[in-house]
Amino acid sequence: EPGHPVSPLIVLVGPMGVGKSTVGHLLAERLGVAYRDTDDDIVAAEGRTIADIFVDEGEPAFRAIEKRAVRTALTEHDGVLALGGGAILDPDTRELLTGQRVVYLSMQVEEAVRRTGLGVARPLLAVNPRKQWRELMEARRHLYEEAATAVVPTDGRTPEEVTEAALDAL
Ligand code: S3P
């Protein structure tokens, strides 16, 4: 509508599989702004998948690449910006998020297990997804919460419902 102020940057954080990309696209569409995702930026810049970067160079190298990608995206973008689930682990990234509008899409461990599955059918070879999820959530939950200006639980909600809740929370 005329005179409606341009939406400032909205940053989406939260664990992998929570729906940052799906909800981010819906949110951007509803607000009439562009969607951007630092994982996509990294894949485009590196010409290989995130999984390949992890395998080839290890997590610390990926985090260094990610941190630069987040800094660039934060300065260039003014729509909806989704960060990779682990971006919040970097102290410089957390500092950059201070003063930004940060929406944390949260989910409980059981929801995460339900959404991402229990892994391969050979339990002795597979990691324990529930234990992995519990540890990951315990390590990161407070970082997401501290960075967030709004928390939107996604448990048992469709992407459309989460998008509505996020719009209400803005
Ligand atoms: C990661 C989340 C992924 C991706 C990488 C590591 C994490 O992003 O950056 O696999 O540490 O949680 P999404 O949250 O977009 O899946």
Domain 10-152, second-level architecture: 3-Layer(aba) Sandwich (3.40)
Length of the chain: 170
21 has binding-site annotation: yes
> Which comes out higher in pLDDT, residue 132 or 155?
155
* The pLDDT of residue 118 is above 70: no
In angstroms, the CA 49 to CA 2 distance is 42
Domain map (residue ranges) of the chain: 10-152
Its pTM stands at 0.91
| 59-93 confidence digits (pLDDT tens) | 999 999 999 999 999 999 999 999 999 999 999 99
* The pLDDT of residue 122 is above 70: no
Q: How confident is the model at residue 3 (pLDDT cuts 50, 70, 90)?
A: very low
- Which pLDDT value is given to residue 45? 96
Minimum mean pLDDT among 66-75, 81-90, 116-125, 133-142: which range?
116-125
Among 8, 12, 4, which residue's Cα sits nearest to residue 37?
12
Phi and psi torsions of 89, nearest 5°: -70, -20
- Which pLDDT value is given to residue 129? 84
Residue 14 near ligand 1, beta carbon < 6 Å: no
Residue 85 near ligand 1, beta carbon < 6 Å: yes
Between the CA of 3 and the centroid of ligand 1 the distance, in Å, is: 38
Question: How many alpha carbons lie under 13 Å from residue 90 in its C-beta half-sphere?
Answer: 23
ipTM for the predicted complex = 0.96
CB 158 within 8 A of CB 109: no
Q: Quick one: average pLDDT of 124-147? A: 89
Q: How confident is the model at residue 115 (pLDDT cuts 50, 70, 90)?
A: confident
Q: Whose CA is nearest to atom 16 of ligand 1?
A: 16
Q: Whose CA is nearest to atom 6 of ligand 1?
A: 86
Ligand 1 atom with the shortest distance to the CA of 15: 14
Mean residue pLDDT across the chain: 91
* The pLDDT of residue 52 is above 50: yes
In angstroms, the CA 145 to CA 134 distance is 16
